Structure 1
């Protein structure tokens, strides 16, 4: 179908083609042939953003013919994929949690049903899709705010977070607009404002991930684009400068012997105060010297290590798991179970049962760490 483009449509077409190219370039930068859950989700998210840029320009969609449904499908999955990308990038979990795919699969079902059903039903499903968009982006913003305090990766905290905030605000605003249009029966129309926002978002994405991908994704083997005077990430402790070695020893003393990790609501500022060093100094040590990316995850590792020791102890076999969780520093059983499974790949009950089986068989050591 031929569509004549003139006036402002020519400018908008150019802007959108540039935006599509930038989003696809970002997808390639994010993927970079490394198979991780965050990179895969990010690649798909930026491909979907390219499709979204096309979807919201009716003149081009009218030219696509049979190519329009795949573009529509990929574009409408964008919010769910962006949510998954953000959650994976900021979670720092050692193991992928398959439960995170449930919201994505839910949106997938809505989109397929909306594209396959008659208009009256499809309209209701697209409304549900728009509400889901708002909910997922609202949740992502909440996660970003919660992780802000404990994030030890400065570039992720101060550079990547704004990218996701811009995307989330845009998606929430668009979700409300789409709801209004669906309720009032208003069709999509070209919009230079929409094109400009997407161009800004795509420029921000390619700059951030093009320059700082290795730091954001934790690729230790890749060089950092900016030089630093701090120790390299995940150095051997013997390679640390004397001042960092002394601070590491003092930190271990607080954790290993005083078990400060048991303190409810422990913050990095509290730990820095106990060590009598500035907070930024402790952040640098934990991240650039010892390789930790999140303070809460660092504390959780100490708590789980104590819990694992207790679960392996045959003299504590009658101690309830909830008691072990609370004694280790967790405020309740549910977060302990989630953290333990994320760290070990098994539930505390399974871990204890395996330890008991080893003791019963005469083995002296517990399950492999």
Structure 2
């Protein structure tokens, strides 16, 4: 079998797996944001698998350029997917779509006008440097959010998905940059690219099959401060630890501390981090450590906002006292929990008094 035929088979295998993955996600998780982003990412990767070429290739046709543009925009979807995977409360904003549209448009312009005008090397290099920027953002998001994920069964799978995708994207971008000035198609590089893509797609598909989809893409659940399970169903040792944790939160208000982490609480309770993750997730019903902390902070803020004696205290002071670092995250978390802004909440409580 020739190199070209082998490459074509690998591309076809990757496309088939990606379409199966997208269909599976659509059937089961089309109503969950992370599931929809997986579908979009899979379809964008299909466009990449069909159009990716290292070195010189045939002139780009009008029908081919949109596929290349969608392939380039897929890196923005990948960045958004990393955010949704590690934050069940993540929501898409209008400017996310604007970023995606800008990258897609820039890629299309590159294909149709910049590259054909004799600036192919600069066009290819610019697009792939942009790709590397989004890969760095996605990896940084993963590193920053991974420790807050309380669902043990999905943590490693999510990291594998992000790291494997980032490694392939980085390899492809570097190969594109390295051979941007080549006047011939680099067959071995295209074969390597297709082989690594097929292997990673197969690995991600296999990894996702090993984890319950409800764990990986479940919709956010309503957290509670009180015990989520009847006391009779809880083991005595776990209940003792849960009680100790709640004393830290209620009496010492440890959530007020700067940069408090799950490691901080585990050290105070003298237990391993993995056990504390399991307690907060399975006993208290939380899927994310930051949501657990913010729920306690918001409860304190709600009490302060409803207190007539604190009617003149600025909202930002109440937010900072409760442990938030700035007003923006506090306002968003407060409205997501209560359905109203802090100012509206204070006004409603004053009217009801």
TM-score (norm 2): 0.83
Which deviates more from structure 2 when the two are superposed, residues 296-305 or residues 332-341?
332-341
Partner of 1:175: 173
Q: For 1:77, what is the secondary structure of its paired residue?
A: helix
Partner of 1:146: 144
Matched residues in 1 for 2:228 and 2:137: separation? 35
Check 1:357–1:216 CA distance in 2 against 1; reply closer, same or farther (3 A cut). Answer: closer
Paired residues of 2:131 and 2:173 also in contact (CA < 8 A)? yes
Check 1:65–1:120 CA distance in 2 against 1; reply closer, same or farther (3 A cut). Answer: closer
Q: How many residues align?
A: 339
Partner of 2:314: 320
Of the three residues 300, 305, 314, the one matched with 1:306 is: 300
Matched residues in 2 for 1:195 and 1:340: separation? 47
Structure 1 residue 48 displacement after superposition: 1.2
Paired residues of 1:30 and 1:39 also in contact (CA < 8 A)? yes
Check 1:113–1:48 CA distance in 2 against 1; reply closer, same or farther (3 A cut). Answer: same
Matched residues in 2 for 1:303 and 1:32: separation? 38
Partner of 1:215: 215
Structure 1 residue 341 displacement after superposition: 4.7
Matched residues in 2 for 1:315 and 1:122: separation? 67
- How is 1:1-369 mapped onto 2 (pairs within 5 angstroms)? 7-34=2-29, 35-56=31-52, 68-93=64-89, 95-115=91-111, 117=113, 119-120=116-117, 123=120, 127-182=125-180, 184=181, 186=183, 188-190=185-187, 191-212=190-211, 213-218=213-218, 236-238=229-231, 240-243=233-236, 244-344=238-338, 350-357=341-348, 359-360=350-351, 363-364=352-353
Paired residues of 2:22 and 2:43 also in contact (CA < 8 A)? yes
Paired residues of 1:134 and 1:172 also in contact (CA < 8 A)? yes
Q: What do the CA deviations read for 1:43-86 (whole angstroms, capped 9, x no partner)?
A: 0101111221111259xx97x98763443233222211111111
Structure 1 residue 202 displacement after superposition: 0.7
Matched residues in 2 for 1:76 and 1:188: separation? 20
TM-score (norm 1): 0.80
What is the root-mean-square deviation of aligned Cα atoms in Å? 3.1
Where structure 2 has 5 or more consecutive residues not aligned to the other structure, the ranges are 222-226
Check 1:135–1:298 CA distance in 2 against 1; reply closer, same or farther (3 A cut). Answer: same
Check 1:306–1:294 CA distance in 2 against 1; reply closer, same or farther (3 A cut). Answer: same
Where structure 1 has 5 or more consecutive residues not aligned to the other structure, the ranges are 1-5, 222-233, 365-369
Paired residues of 1:94 and 1:342 also in contact (CA < 8 A)? no
Paired residues of 1:138 and 1:172 also in contact (CA < 8 A)? no
Structure 1 residue 99 displacement after superposition: 4.3
Paired residues of 1:160 and 1:208 also in contact (CA < 8 A)? no
Structure 1 residue 269 displacement after superposition: 2.4
Matched residues in 2 for 1:237 and 1:245: separation? 10
Matched residues in 2 for 1:157 and 1:93: separation? 16
